[in-house]
Amino acid sequence: MSDLNKIVLKILEKGKGVLAADESTGTMTKRLESVKVKSNPESRLLFRETLFSSSKMKDCIGGVILYDETIRQISSKKNKIPELIENMGSYPGIKVDTGAKVLAGSPDEKITEGLDGLRERLKEYYSLGAKFTKWRGVYSISKNYPSKLCIESNAHALARYSALVQECNMVPIVEPEILMDGEHSVKDCYDKTSEVIKKCFDELILHKIDLTGIILKPNMILAGNKSHDKISSEETAKLTINCLKNSVPSEVPGIAFLSGGQSEIEATENLNLINKYNTSNFIMSYSYGRALQQGALKFWSKNTKDIEGTQKIFNHRAKMNTLAAQGKWSKELEIQ
């Protein structure tokens, strides 16, 4: 077993998942302002360290994805943030892309940037304690999109990123996200997700990536949020499994879904059914941002001094998702 494979299996062991707390300063500011909290380095740190020091981190969260600002911050108890995370039995990770920018040649679409100088930045993040990294490619579905240009250029960037990350002895999370925004059907989501993921693996293989040392972070198969084509959670689960079985090479050890705008309960219920019906060898877990933080953030915004109350909400969500990652969740467990 390679060292990278060991890190993957540790992050995703026993139903553990990933807490995506790597919102850029711009995104985090929007999230904080939406609950009427002023965004500054102190408030961003306070909310995040409240989550990172919650008791369920130990049983439920195998990895935390950080943003550049956070990996350099010191907690109120004077711990470096990566140390605080390691002390909770979890691995610190880092978002290393520099964001999705307008794609020249197809200006309605996005290409993720951040390859220039990446080797040097990775060395620094490794020295700060990062064990894994994240890069997100983003695709929207509409009549003519995603274009071949968008699919190929993002796959190429994800592969070059992964090669540099593995060279630096860290695990790359490969995140090709098909956005839920739009009027597209479930079939469109299925077809485009398959095409995008297959192209990513063509490039990962071309770039000689050790597939046993990556985590794939895909979307689930859902209709667009403006579509009338709604399906049950059972159907979402079965289509998601089918899509991944047909597009992901079997060497890949783990898949950790993004929540992508699903409600907290929806994201948990879908993950639970995916695990109930999972006939593949992939570990199927979570790497949620909003679906782990929403309730806790809302509560905290009204009581920023109530650390315990905020942690109780986060602990519950983490526990529910870790049960779901083992197919052991049920609706009744949501009543606290």
Residue 332 and residue 27 in contact, taking contact as beta carbons nearer than 8 Å = no
Interacting residue with ligand 13P among 4, 12, 20, 64 (CB under 6 A): 20
Q: Min. distance of Cβ 62 from ligand 13P in angstroms?
A: 15
Residue matched to tokens 């904080």? 32
Name residue 286's beta-bridge partners: 257
Q: Hey, what amino acid is at 179?
A: L
Site for ligand 13P in 282-321 (CB under 6 A): 288-291
Nearer to ligand 13P, 77 or 111 (CB): 111
Identify the DSSP state of 183: S
Identify the DSSP state of 74: B
Nearer to ligand 13P, 22 or 306 (CB): 22
Q: Hey, what amino acid is at 12?
A: L
Nearer to ligand 13P, 182 or 260 (CB): 260
Active site residue 80: no
Identify the DSSP state of 330: -
The span from the CA of 323 to the CA of 56, in Å, is 12
Question: Nearest residue to ligand 13P, using CB?
Answer: 289
Name residue 115's beta-bridge partners: none
Name residue 98's beta-bridge partners: none
Nearer to ligand 13P, 262 or 308 (CB): 262
Nearer to ligand 13P, 152 or 266 (CB): 266
Structure token digits, residue 158: 């994800």
Q: Min. distance of Cβ 132 from ligand 13P in angstroms?
A: 13
Q: Min. distance of Cβ 76 from ligand 13P in angstroms?
A: 25
Catalytic residue, candidates 217, 245, 305, 331: 217
Tell me which stretch binds ligand 13P (CB under 6 A): 27-35, 238-246, 258-266, 320-328.
258-266
- Those residues whose C-beta lies under 8 Å from the C-beta of residue 60, and which sit 6 or more positions away, are 15, 16, 17, 318, 319, 321, 322
Confirm or reject binding of residue 258 to ligand 13P (CB under 6 A): yes
Q: How many residues bind ligand 13P (CB under 6 A)?
A: 10
Site for ligand 13P in 127-166 (CB under 6 A): 136
Q: Min. distance of Cβ 318 from ligand 13P in angstroms?
A: 13
The span from the CA of 43 to the CA of 334, in Å, is 29
Which has the closest alpha carbon to 157: 192, 116, 218, 195? Answer: 116
Identify the DSSP state of 117: T
Interacting residue with ligand 13P among 70, 75, 112, 259 (CB under 6 A): 259
Provide the mask over 219-248, with x wherever binding to ligand 13P is found by CB under 6 A and - wherever it is not. Answer: ------------------------------
The span from the CA of 62 to the CA of 49, in Å, is 16
Nearer to ligand 13P, 294 or 315 (CB): 294
Residues with a catalytic annotation lie at: 217
Binding site for ligand 13P (CB under 6 A): 20, 136, 175, 258-260, 288-291
